Structure 1
Amino acid sequence: MDRVAALRRVGLVILGVNLLLALAKGGVYLSTGSIAVGSEAVNSLADAAYSLIVVGGLYLTTQPPDEVHPHGHERIEPFVSLFVALGVFAAGGVVLWQAIEAVLAGGAGGHDGPLAAGVLAVGAGAKYLLYRYCIRVAAEYNSPALEATALDNRADILTAGAALAGVLGAALGAPVLDPLAGAVVALGVLYAGVEIVRDNVNYLVGAAPSEELQAEIVGRALSHPEVEGVHDVVAHYVGPEVDVSLHIEIEGDRTVAEAHDIETDVATAIRDIDAIDDVFVHLDPRELGEWKDECEESGERVDLDGSTDA
């Protein structure tokens, strides 16, 4: 399945599951009065609301390149993720407020522990399956929006467990545990929002990728037999993908055609990395004196053995 179809299908699945969970938890809350279940119902309702944004956002990001957006529309995805974070923060704030009010009132008046516990257990299981599904597709297609959704689902697993513990505690005669569990749910939801913002701000401000990815970029450049060294490597996020510029050191007696082939081979090898969008390679012939034998402010020279000169 291509990226467009895969991402759109995941978006619809997320929306459908969250709607069903919101309806189920809301119905149980109305019949039991459990603050923990009510908190989870609000959480699922918020999930369903932002799922609509995810579906719309994924539709936009999977549009083909055009004259206005020659690199495609993938760079919209971090903004979609930030909308997800806003929904997560709103849900966490509402749940925390409800929980604090209930604690101050002396606990929840909920009843019917088995019904409340059952819907929470089913919800936790559904969220685990959604988490595994989203994280797999996000990794396969490099989708920040789906990664953000996966993190939210992971937090939902933990908060559903906390809510379940509160419901069971209330059923055993400690009603204050129910709203306390609701507060734990809220804190988990808010933490998921922080994770989403932190990850996607890096995409928007052009942060550097992981050291492992940078090392792979340098390794692929050095793997070409005509490349004697690499320096001034700059890799940074442009949306969810990485743009790379680097200088490669070659002997100066190469013809223009040979130098062109070296540049093309290096750029192609780096561009074949899944996370890479575009690559810019500058050639530094030995005779121009631009080889870097020492680490300088502008960057390190990396030799064929992978070491850096001090």
Structure 2
Amino acid sequence: MSRRSAVRRVGVLLLAANLALALGKAAVWRTTGSLAVGSEAVNSLADTAYSAVVLAGLYVTTQPPDFEHPHGHERIEPFVSLFVAAGVFAAGGAVIFSAGSAVLAPGPVRPTTGGTLSVAILVVAGLVKYTLYRYCLRVGRREDSPAIVATALDNRNDVLTAGAALVGVLGAAAGYPLLDPLAAGVVAVGILYTGVDIVRDNVAYLVGAAPPEDLREEILARALDHPEVRAAHDVVAHYVGPEVDVSIHIEVEGEMSLNRAHDIETDVVESIRALPAVDDVFVHVDPKELGEWKPEDERVTTPDDTPE
């Protein structure tokens, strides 16, 4: 299955699942009056709204390259993820307001009814969200999609918030109605934490942050694997959207022909570009004898080219 089909399938599945959960939780909330279930209904409603945004965004990002976007449209994905975060923050704020109003309202907290129905919908929601979390995380990592990974994180925290809501429902059924709005407050904290998590992960894509050090080491190793590359320096890797652009200087024997140097450059480019996270690779070929590298600790040589 192509990347386009895989990520679009995830978007459709998320939208359908979140819409079904939102409708189910809303129906139970109207029947029972449970604030914990109501907060989960708001959470699922926000999930439904951002799922629609994600689906539209994934449709755009999986379009093939064109004249205006020669590298494709994947760099839009971090913005889609930030839309997800905005929806998550809005949902968390709404739940906190509802829970706080219930706790601070004069008089005793109104007891809820329909404990069995509330427990059932929350258990089902937890199982569905856990399944979506595992599925989205696997697809998101395989396809290098930050938007799908963001939704996976949201689904993971939804499992925890469903558990907190379940505790509140069970506590209220046992004769402690205050646990219901308190559980809603815990749900809200989990919702807001998800938003922070998504923002933190995606801001790095937008500001050109460096990728993990192990990727940089793999880039350098692939350059030095070529038998005619004697050393490498000035390795620069940074995010451009969810993908990594690489610039690296390699050193070769200065007396070789331009044609041979070009062939070496092509080999190194193709080797590094084969890394799933890498998009563009820019290789600068320097004569080994020129010695133009920066301080010695920024230059890495092959074992058979260590200075005497």
Q: Same fold (TM over 0.5)?
A: yes
Whole-angstrom distance in 2 between the partners of 1:178 and 1:81: 31
Whole-angstrom distance in 1 between the partners of 2:216 and 2:195: 28
Contact 1:107/1:177 (<8 A) preserved: no
3-state SS of paired residue (2:232)? strand
3-state SS of paired residue (1:209)? coil
Q: Deviations over 1:68-120 (max 9, x none)?
A: 00001000100000000000000000011111111123434311211101100
3-state SS of paired residue (1:208)? coil
Where structure 1 has 5 or more consecutive residues not aligned to the other structure, the ranges are: none
Q: Deviations over 1:4-46 (max 9, x none)?
A: 1111111000000000000000000000000000000000000
3-state SS of paired residue (2:11)? helix
Contact 1:89/1:193 (<8 A) preserved: yes
Q: Using the aligned pairs only, state the percent identity.
A: 65
| Runs of at least 4 residues off by over 4 Å | none
Residue of structure 2 equivalent to 1:152 = 154
What is the CA distance between 1:229 and its match in structure 2?
1.2
What is the CA distance between 1:228 and its match in structure 2?
1.3
Contact 2:234/2:293 (<8 A) preserved: no
Contact 1:8/1:59 (<8 A) preserved: yes
Where structure 2 has 5 or more consecutive residues not aligned to the other structure, the ranges are: none
What is the CA distance between 1:289 and its match in structure 2?
2.5
Whole-angstrom distance in 2 between the partners of 1:134 and 1:286: 47
Q: Tell me which amino acid in the other structure corresponds to 1:160.
A: A
Whole-angstrom distance in 2 between the partners of 1:229 and 1:108: 73
Whole-angstrom distance in 2 between the partners of 1:125 and 1:101: 30
Q: Tell me which amino acid in the other structure corresponds to 1:15.
A: L
What is the CA distance between 1:292 and its match in structure 2?
5.1
Q: How does 1:1-310 map onto structure 2 within 5 Å? A: 1-105=1-105, 106-291=108-293, 294-295=296-297, 300-305=298-303
Whole-angstrom distance in 2 between the partners of 1:231 and 1:249: 8
Q: Pairwise CA RMSD of aligned residues? A: 1.5
Contact 1:85/1:194 (<8 A) preserved: yes
Contact 1:284/1:291 (<8 A) preserved: no
What is the CA distance between 1:253 and its match in structure 2?
1.4
Q: Tell me which amino acid in the other structure corresponds to 1:303.
A: T
3-state SS of paired residue (1:7)? helix
TM-score of the superposed pair, with normalisation by structure 2? 0.96
Query: Aligned residues, how many?
Result: 304
